[in-house]
Amino acid sequence: MYCEKDHWDWEPGAREVADIDSWKSEHSYVEEVYASPDGEKAAAVVKTEEGEFSLRVNDATWEPSFDRAWYPRFAPDGRLTALVSSGGEWTLAIDGVLWENGFDFAWDTRLGADGAHAVVAVQRGGRYAAAVDGEAWEDDFADFTGLAVSEDGLHAAAVVQTKPFGQADIETFQQGCYSVAVDGKVWDRSFVNAWNPALSPDGVRSAATVRTSLYDYSIAVDGEPWKASFPCAWEPRFNPKDGSVWAPVKTPGGWTLFRDGERAWKKDFVELWRHSFSPDGKRVAAVVAKTFGRWTVAVDGKPWSATFGDMVTDLAWSPDGARAAATGKDKGRWTIVVDGKPWPASFDRVWPPVWSPDGRHTAARVKKNGSETVAVDGRLISESFVKVFTPSWSPDGTKLLVRGVRTAASAGRAYVRSVVSLSEFLG
């Protein structure tokens, strides 16, 4: 079952979970370390014998060994997944238990919000499909890109090739050879190209950016393109509140957001993309450029005053949808910007911001002076790490779980979980 944060250990203080140096003394090869959401487990691909690999989890190694193992990921419920190969067949292993079906190749593991279901892109016999909980689509395809998965992990979509054509067969290509397959069933209409498929939260509806001719772009929903066409368009997304489909499109005046084929924002921008809905679907924000080369965020069509010359990304809404944050980079330096105001500190690198449950604070994994740590509202915690993972807030927002691999002069490299009380840190 999904591991609720209420059941995690929130006792303040640090605790060593795994001695990474001992792993390296027992295995000739150890890959990158990953941490479970609750911080209780650390894992990595290790070589068990010559030509054999497995997954090390804390003090134990999975019993089965494989020709190869890669892409380890912890599910939200704490189970460990990895793509593994045995006897020339690839499949997904979950806590050491393999799916019954194997494939010539498998990649791009996706997990549902509660971790109960998994989707993987697979190839078998030169044909491509998606496999949901180990069962591949009944129909497979010559080409397969842009895997999208529903929130529950039970439905998948991808852009697929619907007609064969040769390298010089321009006439067939222009007639439309690509569409979207949802759970293996292809839309009734094909297009010159299709990109960025999206599924509604329940997986019932689908959308994608399509090219209806060599020069015209639109958004197709369940296979039907909007009546309007554009010189260009970016990825569509479903509003979680009302199911409407929104997408950035290019108009004669610039880039803006359209909703169900109609203009949603009055203002045009030099560029606009990566739009994001608040949890309740009542608000929408997007990364925009007000002028060429100066990036910021627009919320409900109104841009922030702070701009960045390198990039803006990682939009994140507070749980109540009242506030928004993002990462920004200017002149090689990174920071977090909250409601248009950058943190006072800058860093070598920052990762996506994480909101406290009450929406009062933001925390993020950051890198400064060669070490990684966690910052809250721009202030660094006292510990530094070789690698730190995304921090997590306690349900009441008073504590922060920090997970990382640190090096101590006396103890060597170890994976630790540390619970920091916000009152002691921020005062």
Amino acid at 385: F
pTM of the predicted structure, to 2 decimals: 0.93
* Residue 408, pLDDT score: 65
pLDDT at 169 exceeding the cut of 80: no
Cβ contacts of 221 within 8 Å, gap of 6 or more? 205, 206, 207, 236, 245
pLDDT band, residue 351 (cuts 50/70/90): very high
Per-residue pLDDT, averaged over 375-398, amounts to: 95
* Residue 159, pLDDT score: 98
pLDDT at 1 exceeding the cut of 50: no
* Residue 426, pLDDT score: 72
* Residue 40, pLDDT score: 98
* Residue 410, pLDDT score: 54
300 exposed, middle or buried (CB, 10 Å; 0-12, 13-18, 19+)? middle
The 3-state DSSP class for residue 174 equals helix
Reported as a single tens digit per residue, the pLDDT across 10-21 is 999 999 999 999
Tokens of 98: 């393999």
Whole-number Å distance between alpha carbons of 294 and 327: 14
pLDDT at 165 exceeding the cut of 90: no
* Residue 423, pLDDT score: 84
**Where do we find the tokens 């739009």?**
275
* Residue 175, pLDDT score: 84
Per-residue pLDDT, averaged over 265-285, amounts to: 97
User: Mean of the per-residue pLDDT values for the chain?
Assistant: 95
Cα 356–chain centre separation = 20
Q: Spell out where 127-277 has E strands.
A: 127-132, 135-136, 144-149, 156-161, 178-182, 185-186, 193-199, 206-211, 217-221, 224-225, 237-238, 245-251, 254-259, 262-263, 271-277
pLDDT at 87 exceeding the cut of 80: yes
pLDDT at 22 exceeding the cut of 60: yes
- Cβ atoms of 38 and 78 within 8 Å: the answer is yes
Reported as a single tens digit per residue, the pLDDT across 296-333 is 999 999 999 999 999 999 999 999 999 999 999 999 99
